[in-house]
Structures are given as C-alpha cells and as structure tokens.
Amino acid sequence: MAFWGNKQEGEGQQPPPQIPAPGTGSLEDGYNELVKAKGRAPAIDLAIKLSDLILEYAVRERASDVHIETQGPNLRVRFRVDGILQDMLNSPKNSDIPLTQRIRVLAGFDPEPPTSFRNEEGRFQKMLAGRAIQVRVSSFPTVNGEKLVLRVLDRQQLGLDLDQVGLDQDALTLIKKLIRNPYGIFFITGSTGSGKTTSLYAMLKNINTPMINVITLEDPVEYRLEGINQAQINAKTGFTWAEGLRTILRQDPDVIMVGEIRDFESAEISLRAALTGHLLFTTIHTINAPSIIERLFEMGVPPFLIGSSMLGAMSQRLVRKVCPKCAQNAAPPSEPVVNEFIKNMDPEEGKVVKELILRPGAAYKVEKGCAECRNTGYMGRTGIFELMLMNEDIRKHILDHAPTDMIKRAAIKGGKMRTLLMDGILKARTGTTTLAEIIRVTATMV
Ligand SMILES: [Zn+2]
C-alpha cells in the first residue's frame, strides 16, 4: 500500500534490467513483452511500465481519451483518435499485472474500487515526449467490474492559437476585431467535443495582456492558462454559476469567461454585466448560432437585454482532415445528387449550398486509407464554424421575438453568415476534408 502511495512521478520510472524495453511496434507487442517478463520482475514494476506504455502510445497516436476495460476475460484498451474509438489492445487479462490499481493510485484514488458506488474523478500529470501531459481519470462501476477512462490533455495538441483553430482569414479578422470590443457578450455553441473550450481559451489568450484583468468561471477548469484568473464552480460549497458571477463582478474584471450559461439567473447577470462595461465570453447549448437567441428567450431573458448586449455568436464542430498521404482526387457530385441533398432545406439556404458544391474549381478529395492513418483515411482535425454577427436586422428580429428560422435567414442574407455546412463545404473544396465527412458531422445537428 505504502509503495503505491510513495511512487511519485519522475521517480523510479526506470525499469529494472529484467523487464524488456517496450517494443517499437504496437501497444499489443509491448503488452506481450511485459507478460513474458512476469515472474522475473515485481508485479508493481510491470504495472508501472504498462501504464507508462499506454500513455506513451496515447500521446504518440494523438489520443484524446484512453478507455481501459477489464470486465471480461480480456484487457481491452481503446483510444479515441480524431473523435473515433479504436481498439489498441485486446488480449487475455493478466491479474498479475495490477494495471487498474496503478492508475487508480496515480489519480489519487484508493488502489481498490469502492464497494458501493461513489463518483470518482482524479487527475495527475506526467512528463511524456518531453512535455507535461495532464491526465484526468474517471472510474465507472459497470456490472462486470471497473472501467477507467483517461482524458489526455496535451497542450501541444491543443494549440491554443486562434490562428490555428481552423477559422479562415475573413472569419479570423472579424473575430479578432469582435473580441476587442470594450463590452458586450459573445456566445459559442457546439456539442461536447466540438472544440468550443479550445476556441474560448484561444480567444482569451489572444486578447490577454497585463493591462487587463481576465477572470474565468469553469466547470471543470480544463487547462491552466498563464496570466488568467481561473475559478472552478463547486455547487456543493455554494459556489454556483450565479454566485461565482456575483463574486467575479466584485473583482474589477475587464474580461469574463463563463464556462456555460444554463439558467435564467446566470444568463441575466452575464448579459447585464455585458451592458455595464465588461466583455464576456460564454458557451450555451443549442444546435446552431441563431437558435442561441431562442434559448435565451426560453430562459426568460427579455429581448431588449439580448439585443443590446449580444455582439454575436459562433457555432462549431470538429471535422477530420483527410490523410494527405493517401487521399485521392474526387469529382464533384452530380447535379441530381446535390438537388436531392438540398431538397428539405430552406430554399434560400439550399441555393447557396448547391452553388457552393457545384461551383467549378474545387479540389475535392476522397479518403482511402494507408498505414500512416491506420486505414481510416483521415489524420488530425480542424474546426468548421458558423459565425453570426449582430446587425440592425437581427436586432430588430430579436425585439420582435422572431423565431429561429427568421433570425437565421436574416443572418445569412444581411449578415452573410455561412452555416456550418457552408463552411464545411468550403473546406472540402480545398481538399482539407471530404464532403462525406462534412455531411456526417453536420447531419446530426445536436
Ligand atoms: Zn492515409
């Protein structure tokens, strides 16, 4: 027991000589080598080696999450890479290598899972590939035993640079101007894993200087940012979104980031703060940028407050980039196929989409698959964006309490807003991704 607790990061990581060095091949190879060393090395050393090996592979494969499943006869390890889970290891389990106990201890849990259910969340930091990788651990008691999920937070992968999130030059120029407003509120929407936290952080980083006071309210604080005052929501102690916001407003802030707005109270405090000389960024859960307004109506926020404080809104998704090593050129889809695709869209919107797909000069690609991309045909991800800027037309619709489709039409027409689909098609036209990927990601707009 003491041994588990005493094993600190950075110490004792050198394997004793009798353990073979991990193979250069797959994680499965590495695991098999460790299994062969059984009995020749202390079980704990094998477990340490195996957990290190899994994390090394996770960073190498750019995995965002690592799933460790030990419920059946097998030890199964899956990585989420570019948003999709892949089997990395599925071999007979070895109870002599106490892998889950090792990870539980790293995460600050007891080595054995609790007998009755308790929510367990922990984190640890590890030096891998020459940099500090933060790992957030969650344990889940399935009926057959424990499942561990490790969220790998690699700042380098994150690239908190606004120029690199995937915004094109026009949108980037607009956003940089918008986030330099002295006051107002800007909303980002997108599903879990859409990259919206990364965008928020990139915006804060872009405007942060010693001359302004930037405060965030988050749940959880995902990445520690230098020079920014980050606070964590804690409902148990009464530090709720609304309470946190009231506290922040007494801290002489210039810029406030509110992790999420989900009720009337925090919405009202935020929008009023935006009217009284503060710049706010926040996220809200809706299917697209224009429907943020309806969501605020539903919460009970008065239209005048929305119309006078809102600077704009952005919706985003992550799409996989086609693998540059194996992608093949593709012809544009035929006109009848496009007509079928747009038949249920708003006619104005459908017209723009059709023109975008069929306009000559596109360099469409189709995915194939090679060793480099693990036969997925894709490598890495980028964002697609729907940027809606406030204008007189939209403001008038807000004051009239107009429904989302009218606001959306006004944004496309007057504000020249590109929808997620339109922005995605532009990225497919340049061969960054494929039309199939854009349709996959934008078809489920929840
Ligand atoms: Zn490839």
Q: How does pLDDT run across 347-393, given as a tens digit for each residue?
A: 989 999 999 999 999 999 999 999 888 889 999 999 999 999 999 99
pLDDT at 131 over 90: no
Distance CA 384, CA 317 (A): 6
| Residues around the ion ligand 1 (C-beta < 5 A) | 323, 325-326, 370, 372-373
Q: Are residues 90 and 192 in the same domain?
A: no
DSSP type of residue 372: G
Distance CA 441, CA 287 (A): 12
DSSP type of residue 360: S
Is 179 within 8 Å of 199 (Cβ atoms)? no
pLDDT in tens, 11-35: 444 444 345 555 467 899 989 988 9
Contacts for 270 with CB less than 8 Å, ≥ 6 apart: 185, 245, 256, 258, 261, 280, 282
Question: For residues 433-443, b (16+ Cβ closer than 10 Å) or e, as one string?
Answer: bbbebbeebbe
* Structural domain ending residue among the three candidates 106, 132, 154: 154
The parent domain of residue 130 ranges over 2-154
Q: Are residues 143 and 172 in the same domain?
A: no
pLDDT at 19: 52
pLDDT at 327 over 90: yes
Between 15 and 278, the higher pLDDT residue: 278
Ligand 1 midpoint to CA 288 (Å): 32
Distance CA 140, CA 158 (A): 26
pLDDT in tens, 46-61: 999 999 999 999 998 8
Ligand 1 midpoint to CA 367 (Å): 8
Distance CA 46, CA 35 (A): 8
Ligand 1 midpoint to CA 322 (Å): 8
pLDDT at 12: 43
Ligand 1 midpoint to CA 369 (Å): 4
pLDDT at 235: 85
Alpha carbons within 13 A on the beta-carbon side of 259: 17
* Structural domain ending residue among the three candidates 154, 186, 218: 154
Distance CA 172, CA 177 (A): 9
DSSP type of residue 299: H
Contacts for 293 with CB less than 8 Å, ≥ 6 apart: 306, 310, 398, 404, 407
Q: How confident is the model at residue 128 (pLDDT cuts 50, 70, 90)?
A: confident
Q: Are residues 145 and 209 in the same domain?
A: no
Is 422 within 8 Å of 311 (Cβ atoms)? no
Contacts for 89 with CB less than 8 Å, ≥ 6 apart: 27, 28, 31, 54, 75, 76, 77
Burial environment of residue 191 by CB neighbours within 10 A (0 to 12, 13 to 18, 19 or more): middle
Ligand 1 midpoint to CA 81 (Å): 14
Contacts for 126 with CB less than 8 Å, ≥ 6 apart: 9, 55, 106, 132, 133, 135
pLDDT in tens, 395-446: 999 999 999 999 999 999 876 899 999 999 999 999 999 999 999 999 865 3
Contacts for 297 with CB less than 8 Å, ≥ 6 apart: 303, 306, 401
Supply φ then ψ for residue 181, to 5 degrees: -65, 145
Ligand 1 midpoint to CA 30 (Å): 24
Overall domain count for the chain: 2
Ligand 1 midpoint to CA 58 (Å): 19
Ligand 1 midpoint to CA 313 (Å): 35
| Domain CATH number, residue 365 | 3.40.50.300
Q: Are residues 298 and 400 in the same domain?
A: yes
pLDDT at 142 over 90: no
| The pair of three-digit structure tokens given for residue 177, joined into one six-digit string | 């101007």
What torsion, rounded to 10 degrees, do the Cα atoms 294, 214, 250, 282 define? 10
pLDDT at 224: 79
Q: Which of 182, 438, 444, 440 is nearest to 309 (CA)?
A: 182
Q: Are residues 95 and 189 in the same domain?
A: no
Q: Are residues 364 and 423 in the same domain?
A: yes
Q: Are residues 141 and 163 in the same domain?
A: no
Q: Are residues 141 and 181 in the same domain?
A: no
- Count of C-beta atoms within a 10 Å radius of residue 330: 18
Q: Are residues 285 and 318 in the same domain?
A: yes
The secondary structure of 126-152 as a DSSP string is EEETTEEEEEEEEEEEETTEEEEEEEE
Q: Are residues 305 and 417 in the same domain?
A: yes
Ligand 1 midpoint to CA 88 (Å): 18
Ligand 1 midpoint to CA 320 (Å): 12
- Count of C-beta atoms within a 10 Å radius of residue 254: 17
As beta bridge partners, residue 65 has 80, 151
Ligand 1 midpoint to CA 164 (Å): 22
pLDDT at 13: 46
pTM of this prediction exceeds 0.85: no
Q: Are residues 187 and 45 in the same domain?
A: no
pLDDT at 283 over 90: yes
Q: Are residues 309 and 349 in the same domain?
A: yes
Distances (CA, A) of 427 to 24, 72, 161, 381, 384: 35, 43, 19, 12, 8
pLDDT in tens, 86-125: 999 999 988 888 999 999 999 999 888 887 777 788 989 9
* Structural domain ending residue among the three candidates 154, 170, 200: 154
| Domain CATH number, residue 34 | 3.30.450.90
pLDDT at 118: 72
Ligand 1 midpoint to CA 62 (Å): 15
pLDDT at 7: 38
